[in-house]
A and B are shown apart, each in its own frame.
Chain A
Amino acid sequence: MEFRQALSNKLIQLMKKDEKIVILDADLAKPNGTSPIYSAYPNRCFDVGIAEANMIGVAAGLAAYGFKPITFTFAPFATRRVCDQIAVSVAYAKQNVKIVGTDPGITAELNGGTHMSFEDVAVLRSIPTMVIYDAVDSLQLEQAIEQIINYSGPVYIRTPRKSAKPVFDENYQFKLFQSDVVTPGTDITILATGIMVAEAKEAVQKLSKEGISAELISVNTIKPLDEATILQSIQKTKHVVTCENHNIIGGLYSAVSELLCAQYPLKITGIGVKDRFGQVGKYNDLLKEYQLTSDDIYTAVKQNLNK
């Protein structure tokens, strides 16, 4: 299922139970898939037009009144465009606003460089109290959104709009603020976030055929990091590679570096965008261009292990 469809279906369900949930869009309700929510709850959905700063402020005002607003727009406009509004009206003012940024990084595909956010996590990560969740697949997102709404505080939900390779099965149980060990292993730890978990999973399969046992961890919230799970794995494997659909400056690589510098100094290999801007392209072309493929992860693991 597409992420946006899963999200919209789940929100319609949740809004039935909780009349405080309200939806805000900035003229992207159709592409972001929230339109069906407008049909279900016309009085609790607000399309403010192409005015993202106002959308965040209006959401903060609704939250100050006790409502639970969820804002939707493309990832760059949900973050870097409204960074000060999020910092002041939402986070500093302690307002319970959930911010959905869609099509992060290369998933912006044909919208290209202006719409391709490789900096959205970095922009928000330095704002105190912000929680940053990067969706892995639609099954996870469906569970995550309910827990995120039940959590009181600002959360950035980073999610593609369309389909992605599924990672989890129907037995999966998401727990907010916890990472998931996707495949247990002993030789190296691969920490991946968002769509990169699926790429890393493919790399793990290829590595296992060569007798390399990689432990793949899905880092669901880049902030806060599930430090216990990550440290436990790295102390066991003593090798680590991070994988993110984001600039390696300010995202997962940085977050893990900060953790390990303080608690378990270790060389870290980073798979991610190497401080570059985006461009138009199809998913697979962009994956190759920014060296984010499962083959890139496979190679990075072998280099890290000197194999």
Chain B
Amino acid sequence: MQQIAKEIRALTVECIASIGQGHIGGSLSIVDVLTVLYYKHMNVNPQYPNMPTRDRLVVSKGHAGPAVYATLCHKGYISQQELLTLNQFGTNLPSHCDMNKTPGIDMTTGSLGQGISCAVGMAIASKLADDGATIYCIIGDGEAQEGQVWEASMYASQMKLNNFILFLDDNGMQIDNYTKNINSLIEPQDKWNSFGFFTQTIDGNDVNAIDQAIEKAKLQKDKPAMIVLRTTKGKGISFVEKLGVNNHSTAISKQMLAEALEELK
């Protein structure tokens, strides 16, 4: 899976480089969880993207679209040619995830804090439909400053949604600065623990750790799960990592792409 994650990182950078600019930092930080979900855990079928009994993934931090598109491309939902149409006029791959444009995207996101509520709605729906699906959702640590994240978390716990697995991409950064300097979550695991979640904190760029954490989360009988992913924003590409808080959205030239692809070999 580590190798697949590397390949998806390469596709992510190619996707962003095709238009020359994009949300690279927060895309690269979640590549490992996307890899584990799509290649180990999620019951999905690229030939039948709307399969009713599929597991769902809501990427509530919708600006990580390029990483999701790269994963969907690697998995066979979209062609490599289409992957290089990011943000071009008329594209099916806009900056932020759009369920009505891209096959394999389960919810339209981009206005932060909203996707998690939709995922909670899906988890309730899955219980009503009794289809045995698991609903996954990825939120950002900056996104957790949105009050709606906490409204949704309270209700997921109230409803005992053991089919709901939430990930926090805890990369410690947001657009303006480090999250700790803007509005800190302090200790996210404690917060979700007190909200009634089964919580774990792991190295969010370690595919094996992610796999094991999901296995544990799936054993829950009456609690939703939070997996805090300690990640590096821009993970896997040195020059992006080095940009630190300036890597949220940045220009990626052809030269930078070549450098990135060399590093990911």
Contact = CB atoms under 8 A, between A and B. Distances in A.
Contacts of A89: 107-108, 111, 114-115, 117-118
Contact of B100 (A51, A56, A61, A94): A94
Interface stretch (A62-70, A167-175, A291-299): A62-70
In this complex, the member of A22, A49, A65, A69 whose beta carbon has the largest number of chain B beta carbons within 10 angstroms is A65
A53 B149 CA distance: 10
Nearest to A97: B121
B124 interface: yes
Contacts of B159: 46
Given A49-B154, A65-B129, A88-B111, A58 B148 contact: no
B51 to A, nearest CB: 13
Given A64-B122, A88-B110, A57 B128 contact: no
Given A49-B154, A54-B120, A57-B152, A65 B125 contact: yes
B128 A61 contact: no
B46 interface: no
Contacts of B215: none
Interface string A97-121: 0000000000000000000000000
B99 A58 contact: no
Contacts of A46: 124, 159
B151 interface: yes
A58 B120 contact: yes
A92 interface: yes
In this complex, the member of B111, B117, B122, B159 whose beta carbon has the largest number of chain A beta carbons within 10 angstroms is B117
A60 B108 CA distance: 10
Interface residues of A, number: 30
A65 B126 contact: yes
Contacts of B152: 54, 57-58
Contacts of A88: 108, 110-111, 114
A98 to B, nearest CB: 14
Interface in B4-62: 52, 58
Given A57-B117, A67-B125, A94-B100, A51 B108 contact: no
Main secondary structure of the interface of B (DSSP, over half): helix
Nearest to B149: A54
B197 to A, nearest CB: 16
Contact of A53 (B52, B107, B122, B148): B148
A40 interface: no
B128 A44 contact: yes
B147 interface: yes
Contacts of B154: 49, 51
A1 interface: no
B108 A93 contact: yes
Interface in B122-145: 122-126, 128-129
Contacts of B115: 57, 89
Interface of A: 22, 43-44, 46, 48-49, 51, 53-54, 56-67, 69, 84-85, 87-89, 92-94
Ordered nearest first, which 6 A-B pairs have the shortest CB separation? Answer: A61-B121, A57-B117, A65-B125, A54-B151, A93-B108, A58-B121
